[in-house]
Each structure stands twice: as structure tokens, then as C-alpha cells.
Amino acid sequence: MSKLRRALLVAGLLAPLAVLVTGTPGAQAADAYPSRPVKLVVPFPPGGSNDLLAREIADALAQRLKAPFVVENKGGAGGAIGIEAVAKSPADGYTILVVSNSLVTAPALNRQLRFDAVKDFTPISLVAELPTVLAVTPDVPGATLAEALAYIKANPGKLNYASAGIGAPQHLSTEYLKSATGADIVHIPLQGQGQMLTEMLGGRVQLMIGVFSTAQPYFAKGALKALATGGAKRTPAAPDLPTIAEAGVPGYGVQWWLGALAPAGTPPDIVALLNREILALGQDTAFRAKLAAAGIDWVGSGPAEFSQTLVKDLALWTKVVADAGIEAK
Amino acid sequence: MMLNDLILGFSVAATPINLFYCLMGSLFGTLVGVLPGVGPVVTIAVLLPATFALEPTSALIMLAGIYYGAQYGGSTTSILLNLPGETSSVVTCLDGHAMARQGRAGPALAVSALGSFFAGCAATLLIALFSPLLGAIAVRFGPADYFSLMVVGLVGAVVLAQGSLLKAVSMIVLGLLLGLVGTDVNSAVSRFDFGLPELADGINFVVLAMGLFGIGEIIVTLERRKDEEGTVIPHGRVWPSRDDVRQSWKPVLRGTALGSLLGLLPGGGTALASFAAYALEKKLSRSPERFGKGAIEGVAAPESANNAAAQTSFIPLLTLGLPSNAVMALMVGAMMIHGITPGPQIMTSRPDLFWGMIASMWIGNLMLVLLNMPMIGLWVRLLRIPYRLLYPAILLFACIGIYSVSNSAFDVGLAAAFGLLGYVLVKAAFEPAPLLLGFILGPLMEENLRRAMTMSRGDAGVFLREPVSLVLLLLAAALLALTLLPAVKRGRQEVFVE
């Protein structure tokens, strides 16, 4: 009994003290976000478009919001380790995920994952996208995608296509093309776009869907032929190049996006603030020029739009994986 | 045309900032070369995250400087203290330290520095001359050819590995097995990961190298240091006599040629080059009995060879994107961090980086010879830092380096485990170097084997039909036949006895 009373007494004495230390509830809410460093988690090793975009955003937001924004690379398991870490972080706005569409392609591949791409995150903005290109070697006759596809169909199982590995966007996007056109072309999984280009230039692989910017140097010299871009709309980087849909595969369209998300349950005012600040970056021509130089196109969507894209893309990639019969564990 | 390229290279390498990083790299390299137990692999791995903020060209110039700087530094402790700072300077101990005991440490150090300088210059010129050629044919080099090249490398590692053949083979096989951990390239199935997502991408090379070499070496050194601490022998006159020069110029030339060749081959590397050059000089000498007792040829040849190999091992990296040794594998990582994929396209897509790095090698070699000649005394004094102060610092930096690779505490624990393995291996007289070669070459070999098979639609005959692949496989077979010849075996042992 006396123990309990003493405990109550101590608690009673400490209560006002606690209020003193932590401030009144009202004052706490008024504390301007961000009052301490914000962590931008990139689920890949340093280097690459995802990392680069996160670093540009971190620098720009740090200047605008007068608080440190720190990029943390947490690579591994195709992005799963970093994504999962953010999903399990406190939803206080101080841990943000900057990620590519591997957020939705990984679950589409039926990998055993410990996160849910839709339920575990509050989307902030689909910030940017990587323009893609469908390229073939000069050995493939024809100047248009339709002619190239006719040649591929006339030689079923004889040609190869390159990807950056099983489940990589290059792989899934080309499998989508195969399902949509009925083309029979063999997958050669490689490691990264550099190897893809090497095999293409050596003529051992005849087709690829890859990142536009790193393939571009080879188009001018005629070492490779650019036939179409993979997105729903043409890219500003090559306005004369038709989309795959325009070039004869109606309905085709893939978006290799890069977006920012917070853990589910992050206060809506913080999400709104971050979205507003990120969209403001898009108004800055110098910022957009920096991204363009790195082969990244600015998009800048609202949270609701991004949320719809997540659901739509998860369904699309799940169907692509099922249609192509890709098995991955 | 090549002159223009070289001028571009020097204009890039000679900017104040790049000169600074070249000097820093050479300085760091010499420093870690002098310190036993800290090698270029560990140093580059530790400094890798620090290069994120640098321009890629500056970063690579510095990392390259560390690499060839270590080749210079390693000879100093070998000669003065009989303590090889580098595996590639093990051979230098044999005659170098013998010379030092005879009071001829100065000429030994000078010949080693000047021989290295000559080799460095010659090899840099070779890179400038032949890299474009190799680069042009590099895209013709298909998966079948790569596979056969890996076979040559692995067989070569077995044939010329130091000590017991059985132990070398078992180390290579263990390396191959460790290389299999992670996601299978063709099916995306995760292998040997024990359900740990941290292992899904395989074991990081830095983690393995830091554990096996860095942490393992520290444990061994702590145990041994009492009975193996050498005594500093004062070095007399520095400049070699006319006789010394007469005796060493040919070995320097031969060492340079042999080192340049072996540096090119994956699985060759600097340790191999120095050993092969030493063996060659001994075979050619009219008085082989002097070897091991202070023959200056036994210093000049291996020191030139390891430096030449250190330089030319950049050719496969720069033109084929193929790491020929552990340090080059780290250089691949350094390039990827900066969004540069090593490969044949690098010469056309980044000529500033390519030629800048080559020009920096020549500048770095000049810096090194200027650095090493007058500063030998200082390097020796550095060795007097008590090891009890040195090793906690090394350990701390190693942990920071490992953690920063992928912000993973798991990797630090894994490196600690490999450290214990490294200790056990050294105690049981197993060389960890072949393990690392197996670890690097194995996954590449598997990848290219399966890629070649997919491209040929399952026809294994492709390895014999491709001319390059066929030649390489025949070479591998010839190398293997050589090991099986008992005469060669006896020769191998003979060199080691002395």
C-alpha cells in the first residue's frame, strides 16, 4: 500500500516537471518541422539515378527548409532492405524513402518481402522519371520499330535481348513488349547498362530497352539504332523519337519513375509540406537543368496521383510477370 | 592521334587539384606499403567512401596512386627489416635484406626505387600505346572468350601459387564457393543466404578482403610481434656503385617486360610478377648460388616486375572492365560509385578520365621516386610506432570503412568472422590470396559460362569454335600439363627452399 502511495506521490510531483521538460501539447505541435535532421533513405548503393536524385533533393530542401537533409544509402536485395527499413521507421516525417519503381516491381515478382508497397507508405510525390529507349543493333534491318518487329517475328528464338538482370526494369519492360507483340526473343541477363551496351556493340545481343541517356552516345555514330521510347509520352531529350505505342504497339507504356514516400501514418501536414517544397523545386530551372544533364526528366506529382500510380503500376507489373511466366524468389 | 590523347591526359592530370590527389594517393600508398599488415586493398577500401564527394577523375587518380605507391613502400621494410609490407615484396626480402645485412641497404633501396620508376614509366607508355588497341578489340571479346580467360587465370593461379599446391587449390575452391553466395544471375534464386536478406547480393568483396587480410593480419601480428620484431639496420650510402648498375639494368628490363605481361592477365597480379621475375633471373644467372645471399639482381628484377604489373593491370580494367586483381576489383567499385561503368566504352565516353588517369600514373611515379629517395629514413622511423597504438587505429578505420560500404552493421560482423577465418588460415599456412582470386574470378566465370551457353542455345561447342576462346583453353591446358610434370614441380619447390 505504502509503496503504491509513494509511487503515486512521486508521479504527482513529477507530472508538472514532465510538462516543463516536454512543453505543453500545444507548444509541441507548433514546433516547426523540421526541427532535426531528416534522413532520405536510398535503397541502393551510391551512384546511379536514384542516388543522384536523392542527393539533389536533399541539397535543395536543406537550403529551403534550413535543416539538414541527409542521404543514407541502404542497398541490398534489389532495394528490399532499404525499403523495408523505411516501412518500419517512425512515421514522424524524419525518415523519407526516395526510390525507383522497384518499390512496385519487387512485390510484382512475388519475392518474399516484409513490406507492402501500398499499405506501408504515404506517397509524397512522384518526382521524376527516367526516359527509356528501345534500341537495336545495325544488324537488325529496318528503320522503324514495326520493321524491326517483323524481322524478329520472322526469326523466332534467334535474336537476343539484354537486360540489367532478372526482375530489373529493363527485363520486365522487354517482357511486356514480348507479351504485347508475340515476339520470340531470348533474354540475356547482364549486370548494369554498361554491360548491356558492351554486348550490343559486340553484336551478340540485338535489342534492348534501357535508360536513354547512357545509350545516347552510340546513336549519333550509328553504332546502335534508336527506334522508340518506352514511356506513355515522348521525352524532351528526343522529341522526334516516337513512343513504342505510337510506333506500332498500341497501349504499351512503361514509366521508370523516381518518387518520395514517407512511412504510412505520417502526419498529413508534414506530407503536404514536403510535397509543396518538392514541387517548388520543379519551378527552379537550374534544378531541372541539373536533373536533365543526368538524364532525369522532372515530373512532380501530387500525393494522390502518386498513390494511384502505385496501385496501377503494381497491377501492371504483376500482370507482366504472370504473362511472361517469370519466376523469382 | 595518340599524342593528342596524351596531351589531353596531362592537361587533366596536371591541374592543381589532380596533382594534389595524385600526391596524396602516392603518399598514402607509400605509407601503407611501409606498414606491415596494411595493404592497398584495405587502404583503398577504407578511403573509397571518402571519394564519393570527389570528381571521379580525382578519385581514381588518388586510388591508383595508393596502389602503385604501395608497391614502392613495400620494398622499404622488406629490405631494411625483412618485413614484407606487401605480398608482392615477399621476394624482395630474400636478397634485399641480405644486402642490408652486408651494409648495402642504400644501393638496395635505390635500385628498387629506380627500377620501379623505370618499370612504371615503361608500363605507362605501354598502356598509352596498347590500351586503344585492346579497347578496339574488347567489344569483340564475348562471354565464351571471357570464360576461357578466367580458366587460364584460375589455372595460372594454381600453377604459380606459393607453397603447397594442394593448399592453393583448396583456397581457390573455397573462394569459388564464397563467390556463389547470393542471387543466381540466370534465375534470380538466392543461393546459400541462410534466409538472410543481407546475403542476397552476395558477400561484399570489401568485407571479405578486410576481414581476411586486415583483421586476420592484426590478430596474427599481435601474436607474433614479440619474436619477429626486426631491428633497424642503418643504411649507408644511397647511390649504387657502377658495378651495381651494370648488374641490374638487364634484370630491370626483363622484370619490366615480364611484369607488364603478367599484370595484363587476370589472376596474374603483382605478387605473381615479382616471383616469376625472381625465378627467371635465378634461372638465367651464371652464378645462381649468389641468390638469397645479396644478389642485386634479386632485388632489381622483382621490384621492377611488381611495379610494371601494378601499372599494366589497369589495361584490362580500363578496356575490358575486367578486374585483374583485388585492388582492381575495388577500382571497379570506385568507378560504379561515380556512375561510370568500366568497359570498352570508357575510352570514348570519358577520354578525360581515361587519359588523365594514365598521365597521372607517370606523374605519380615521378613523385614516388622523389618521395622515396630522401624519405627512407622517415619511413623507417614510422615503424617505431608501438603496435599497441597502431592496431586499434587500423581496426577502427577498418570498421568505419566496412560499415560505410552499405551502412550495414551485418557487414562489420561478417568481416569480424572472416578475420577469424583469416587467422586460422595463416596459422595453418594457407595463403589467403588464392581464395580472393577464386572469389573474384569464380562468379565472373560462372556468369560468362552461362551467358555463353544461353547465347549458343545450350551448345557447349562454342568454347572451341570461338578462336580466342580456343587459344585460351589450349593455353590453360598447357599450363596445367606443366604442373603435372614432376620436373617443374621440383623446380617450384627449389625456389621456395631458398
Give the pLDDT band of residue A16 (cuts 50, 70, 90): very low
- Beta-carbon separation of A193 and B341 below 8 A: yes
Give the mean model confidence (pLDDT) for residues B315-336.
68
| Grid coordinates of B33 | 606499403
User: What is the pLDDT averaged over residues A251-267?
Assistant: 95
| Contact assessment for residue B333 and residue B205, using Cβ atoms and an 8 Å cutoff | yes
Task: Give B17→chain A minimum CA distance, Å.
Answer: 22
Q: Which H, E and C letters describe chain A, residue by residue?
A: CHHHHHHHHHHHHHHHHHHHHHCCHHHHHHCCCCCCCEEEEECCCCCCHHHHHHHHHHHHHHHHHCCCEEEEECCCHHHHHHHHHHHCCCCCCCEEEEEECHHHHHHHCCCCCCCCCCCCEEEEEEEEEECEEEEECCCCCCCCHHHHHHHHHHCCCCCEEEECCCCCHHHHHHHHHHHHHCCCCEEEECCHHHHHHHHHHCCCCCEEEEEHHHHCHHHHCCCCEEEEECCCCCCCCCCCCCECCCCCCCCCCCCEEEEEEEECCCCHHHHHHHHHHHHHHHCCHHHHHHHHHCCCEECCCCHHHHHHHHHHHHHHHHHHHHHHCCCCC
Q: Does A171 touch chain B (CB under 8 A)?
A: no
**How many angstroms away from the CA of B166 is the closest CA of chain A?**
34
Q: Does residue A221 have a pLDDT over 90? A: no
**Is the pLDDT reported for residue B193 higher than 70?**
yes
Over chain A, what is the mean pLDDT? 86
- The answer to whether the CB atoms of A192 and B337 lie below 8 A apart is no
Chain A residue numbers touching B185 (CB-CB < 8 A): 165-166, 189, 191
Task: Say how far residue B168 (Cα) sits from the centre of its chain.
Answer: 17
Residue range B12-19: mean pLDDT, rounded = 89
What pLDDT score does A318 carry?
A: 93
**What type of residue sits at position A189?**
P
Q: Nearest Cβ partner of A202 from B142, B200, B321?
A: B142
For the cut 60, the answer to whether the pLDDT of residue A4 exceeds it is no
pLDDT of residue B273: 75
Residues in chain B within 8 Å Cβ distance of A45: 336-337, 405-406
For the domain bounded by A37-129+255-324, which CATH number is listed?
3.40.190.150
**ipTM entry:** 0.77
Given this model, what pLDDT does residue B267 score? 47
Residue B84 scores a pLDDT above 80: no
* Closest alpha carbon within chain A to B338: A47
Instruction: Give the predicted TM-score (pTM) of the model.
Output: 0.74
Return the pLDDT at A123: 96
Per-residue pLDDT, B296: 87
Same fold yes or no, A37-129+255-324 and A132-229: yes
Predicted local confidence at residue B49, as pLDDT: 62
With CB atoms and an 8 Å threshold, state whether B345 touches A329. Answer: no
Q: Look at residue B486 in the predicted model and tell me its pLDDT.
A: 56
Section B53-81 average pLDDT:
81
B93 within 8 A of B389, measured Cβ to Cβ: no
How far the first Cα of chain B sits from its last, in Å, is 49
Q: What is the pLDDT of residue B380?
A: 54
Tell me, yes or no, if A242 comes closer than 8 A to chain B by beta carbon: no
Provide mean pLDDT across the span A243-255.
93
Q: pLDDT of B97-114, one tens digit each? A: 778 767 777 788 888 888
The domain spans of chain A are 37-129+255-324, 132-229
Element (H, E) at B190: strand B190-191
C-alpha Rg value of chain A to the nearest Å? 24
* Closest Cβ–Cβ partner in A77, A198, A217 for B343: A198
Sign of CA dihedral A25, A30, A33, A35: negative
Average pLDDT for B349-372: 85
Residue B459 has pLDDT above 80, yes or no: yes
Chain A residue numbers with beta carbons less than 8 Å from the beta carbon of B188 are 109, 165-167, 328-329
Which cell numbers in the block locate residue A154? Answer: 520472322
**Omega within 30 of 0 (cis) for the link into A34:** yes
- Angle of helix B40-47 relative to helix B56-81, nearest 10 degrees, comes to 150
- Cα dist from B195 to A7, A117, B132, B417, whole Å: 47, 21, 45, 18
Grid coordinates belonging to B450: 552461362
d(CA B146, CA A55): 36
Mean pLDDT of B66-91: 71
pLDDT of residue B231: 46
Q: Does A202 touch chain B (CB under 8 A)?
A: yes
The verdict on B140 touching A (C-beta cutoff 8 Å) is yes
pLDDT per position as a tens digit, B212-240? 767 777 787 788 765 444 444 454 566 77
Contact predicate B437/B172, CB 8 Å: yes
Question: With pLDDT > 90 as the criterion, what percentage of chain A qualifies?
Answer: 60
Supply φ then ψ for residue A167, to 5 degrees.
Answer: 85, -5
Residue A120: left (phi > 0), alpha (psi -120 to 50), or beta? alpha
Alpha-carbon distance A308 to nearest alpha carbon in chain B (angstroms): 29
pLDDT of B146 higher than 90: no
Q: Is A76 on the interface with B (CB under 8 A)?
A: yes
pLDDT greater at residue B202 or residue A242: A242
For the domain A132-229, what is the CATH code? 3.40.190.10
The residue-averaged pLDDT of B478-497 equals: 62
Q: Taking a contact as any Cβ pair under 8 Å apart, which residues of chain B between 150 and 209 contact chain A?
A: 183, 185-190, 197-198, 200-201
Interchain CB distance below 8 Å, A109 and B198: no
Chain A to chain B Cβ contacts (< 8 Å): 102
CA distances from B253 to B116, B128, B130, B247 (A): 11, 19, 19, 12
Give the one of B339, B406, B451 whose C-beta lies nearest to A48's C-beta.
B339
Residue B151 lies in domain: 2-497
Q: Any chain B CB within 8 A of the CB of A329?
A: yes
- The tens digit of pLDDT for each residue in B375-400 reads 666 655 555 567 677 678 778 877 87
Q: Judge whether A47 is closer than 8 Å to chain B, CB to CB.
A: yes
Q: Which of A157, A156, A126, A129 is nearest to A260 (CA)?
A: A126
At residue A207, φ and ψ (nearest 5 deg) are -145, 150
Backbone torsion region of residue B385, taken as left when φ is above 0, otherwise alpha when ψ lies between -120 and 50, otherwise beta:
beta
What is the band of A326 on the pLDDT scale with cuts at 50, 70, 90?
confident
Give yes or no for residue A295 having a pLDDT over 90: no
Q: How many structural domains is chain B composed of?
A: 1
From chain A, the residues in CB contact with B190 under 8 A are 329
Query: Judged by CB atoms within 8 Å, which residues 262-321 of B form the interface with A?
Result: 321
Chain A residues near residue B406 by CB distance under 8 angstroms: 45, 73-76
**More confident call, B276 vs B459:** B459
Average pLDDT over residues B304-315: 84
Which H/E stretch holds residue B183? Answer: strand B182-183
Position A80 scores a pLDDT of: 86
Is it the case that residue B416 has pLDDT exceeding 60? yes
Residue B52 has pLDDT above 60, yes or no: yes
Cβ-based contacts of B405 with chain A (< 8 Å):
45
Residue A201 and residue B348: Cα distance in Å, rounded?
Answer: 13
The confidence score (pLDDT) of residue A9 equals 47
Helix (H, G, I), strand (E, B) or coil at B191: strand
A79-93, A97-111, B121-135, B166-180, range with the lowest pLDDT: B121-135
Residue in A48, A73, A204 nearest the CB of B455: A204
**Which of A17-31, A104-118, A159-173 reaches the highest mean pLDDT?**
A159-173
Interface test with A, best of B336, B350, B448 (most A CBs within 10 A): B336
Is the pLDDT at B326 greater than 80? The verdict is no
Residue B440 has pLDDT above 90, yes or no: no
If residue B182 lies in a helix (H) or strand (E), which one and from where to where?
A: strand B182-183
Please give the share of chain B, as a percent, with pLDDT higher than 70.
74
